[in-house]
Structure 1
Amino acid sequence: MTKSSRCHRLAVHTQTTKPLSLAAASAAYAQRGIEGISVWVEALEGLTTPQAKQIIDDFGLQVPALVRGGFFCAASLSERESRIENNRRLIETAAGLDAEMLVLVVGALPGESLETQRGWVRDGIEHLLADAEAANVKLAIEPLHPMYAADKSCINRIAEARQICDALDHPAVGVAVDVYHVWWDPDLSREICLLGTKNQIFAFHLCDWRVPTRDLLTDRALMGDGCIDLKRLRREVEAAGFQGWNEVEIFSEQHWAEDQNAFLDQIVERYNHVC
């Protein structure tokens, strides 16, 4: 099977193959014709940005995203300002990697109203707009499943992310649609269409929801091993105008314990037949 038919528009997140170093992951992806690598900040540990970029360039890979920025929610103004500064540094890192976007997991603070927190998120992103525009790096808000509403993300539906995008009304701000987090939403199809009207779908993340789920964080399933209608969701985002990368993002203790080369072979096969 040819490279293009197997891996067209396929990218893999470094966290999917967590046991591999950036260099080992880059080599393994390129060997299989996977052309995109979305880089988690953890994969950069011990490397300068130029060193990481050289590794990625040596294998001819492109970088859809740097993951993750955000985490805007904190009780004190000084801490919120510090987190904005950290995001500015991450935008610089993303630009240094030639990443298309910085993915934002927005954070949450237990005990504070979700409405207040969403205001912090909107304000935090607004402070980053000039930096993102100057660096030619997009900011992709990623809604997380409601199980994370208390302490990881006050943005849990596409509607809430879209409302921030509309309020800021800036071409650098959009949404990362992760099937794991949004497949359950009864308004999902409508929201995808609404995002499409303003070209606000920046990313599309693939995995599956295992039944029963053994761990809410580290038991994501390989595509086809769960209950999400992946083909339908891909058709919907593409009908809404999305033409970007299909990024495989799987956190799985089971798969991390396996041979990562065999796991990547499965990812390519499932991408070709299930998605």
Structure 2
Amino acid sequence: MSDPITNLSKLCIHTITTKPWPIETAAANFAVKGAKGMTVWRDALNGRNIKATGEMVRSHGLEIVSLCRGGFFPNADPVKRKIAIDDNRRAIEEAHELGTKMIVLVCGSDPTQPLETSRDQIQEGIATIIPDAAAAGIQLAIEPLHPMYADNRSAINTLAQANTMTEVLNSPWVGVAIDVYHLWWDPDLEQEIIRCGKNKALLAFHVCDWKSPTTDFLNDRGLMGEGCIPIKKIRGWVEATGFNGFNEVEIFSTAYWQTDQSIFLDNIITAYKNFT
């Protein structure tokens, strides 16, 4: 079990968590409440000067932990695979302009073809953009998604699969993002976190909770402590690898997005201190 959290020095909040707020409002409010990091979703940059937006976020004392998201490589149509590569190259450019050193990859899947084919296309796609990432100084974090998303969101569904892919790609620019929402159920999770740590591939750690019963597998995530994920235990495994990065709060919730976001942010801070 990990030690209790006594301060907010490792708290990062994703812009998608407080989706109704524009990034300017989110940055100001996150900073006032004591958060030290922000992960920026690409939709939050729409219509904005990306470099200036990055400077704005940092002016509030926030580190931009990562850009979310790249990926979605697989497709039975080679033209669409090329479009995905181009989009990932744009994401690398955006990350560089924003001033972050990491992109989280939601790798994608195509339900019209075998999962093995989608995984091969993911590996090929990542290999293709590694030179671009290296030139920009951007690490690519493969995020395994829960198997319920295997049809069209990600053919990478376990930490073992992500670890194996990083080992095959064998690049300092490729690693893994661990999200408790997607991986808490895995009986091999502790051993795979150890493996990830030995490979020095653990780049990011995302937290929220799995509500039971859940009403929507995408947009009904809970605050930490609201569900059944042993978050403190998993954080302990992650920190035992030597990981010293942020604990990133990433909550997709239609219900919470419909509430007063200032109150929601207060609840995030409380839940972070007590249950992360």
TM-score normalised to structure 2 length = 0.96
Q: What pairs up with 1:179-198 in 2 under 5 angstroms?
A: 179-198=180-199
Matched, 1:99 2:100: yes
- Contact 2:54 / 2:64 at 8 angstroms: preserved in 1? no
Mapped partners of 1:21, 1:58: distance in 2:
16
Q: What pairs up with 1:109-188 in 2 under 5 angstroms?
A: 109-188=110-189
Task: Give the superposition deviation at 1:111.
Answer: 2.5
- Contact 2:76 / 2:112 at 8 angstroms: preserved in 1? no
Mapped partners of 1:160, 1:111: distance in 2:
21
The alignment of Structure 1 onto Structure 2 pairs a total of residues equal to: 272
Mapped partners of 1:81, 1:257: distance in 2:
37
- Contact 1:6 / 1:268 at 8 angstroms: preserved in 2? no
Residue-by-residue CA offset, 1:94-146 (whole Å, 9 max, x unaligned): 11112121000011101211111111000000011111111111100011101
Show the counterpart of 2:57.
56
Residue-by-residue CA offset, 1:206-225 (whole Å, 9 max, x unaligned): 00000000111100000000
Mapped partners of 1:58, 1:195: distance in 2:
34
Residue-by-residue CA offset, 1:216-273 (whole Å, 9 max, x unaligned): 1100000000000010000000101211111000000111111111111111111111
- Contact 1:66 / 1:101 at 8 angstroms: preserved in 2? yes
Question: Residue 171 of structure 1: SS of its match in structure 2?
Answer: coil
Mapped partners of 2:71, 2:183: distance in 1:
19
- Contact 1:199 / 1:241 at 8 angstroms: preserved in 2? no
Mapped partners of 2:134, 2:84: distance in 1:
19
- Contact 1:41 / 1:66 at 8 angstroms: preserved in 2? yes
Show the counterpart of 1:270.
271
Q: What letter matches 1:227 in structure 2?
A: C
TM-score normalised to structure 1 length = 0.97
- Contact 2:58 / 2:64 at 8 angstroms: preserved in 1? no
Show the counterpart of 1:27.
28
Q: What letter matches 2:140 in structure 1?
A: L
Mapped partners of 2:139, 2:155: distance in 1:
21
Show the counterpart of 1:237.
238
Mapped partners of 2:90, 2:72: distance in 1:
14
Question: Residue 132 of structure 2: SS of its match in structure 1?
Answer: helix
- Contact 1:95 / 1:135 at 8 angstroms: preserved in 2? yes
**Alignment RMSD, CA only?**
1.1
Question: Residue 63 of structure 2: SS of its match in structure 1?
Answer: coil
Matched, 1:16 2:17: yes
More displaced stretch, 45-54 vs 162-171:
45-54
Mapped partners of 1:197, 1:158: distance in 2:
14
- Contact 2:14 / 2:41 at 8 angstroms: preserved in 1? yes
Q: What pairs up with 1:202-217 in 2 under 5 angstroms?
A: 202-217=203-218
Show the counterpart of 1:41.
42
Q: What letter matches 1:221 in structure 2?
A: G
The sequence identity of aligned pairs, in percent, is 47
Task: Give the superposition deviation at 1:58.
Answer: 2.3
Unaligned runs of 5+ in 1: none
- Contact 1:6 / 1:269 at 8 angstroms: preserved in 2? no
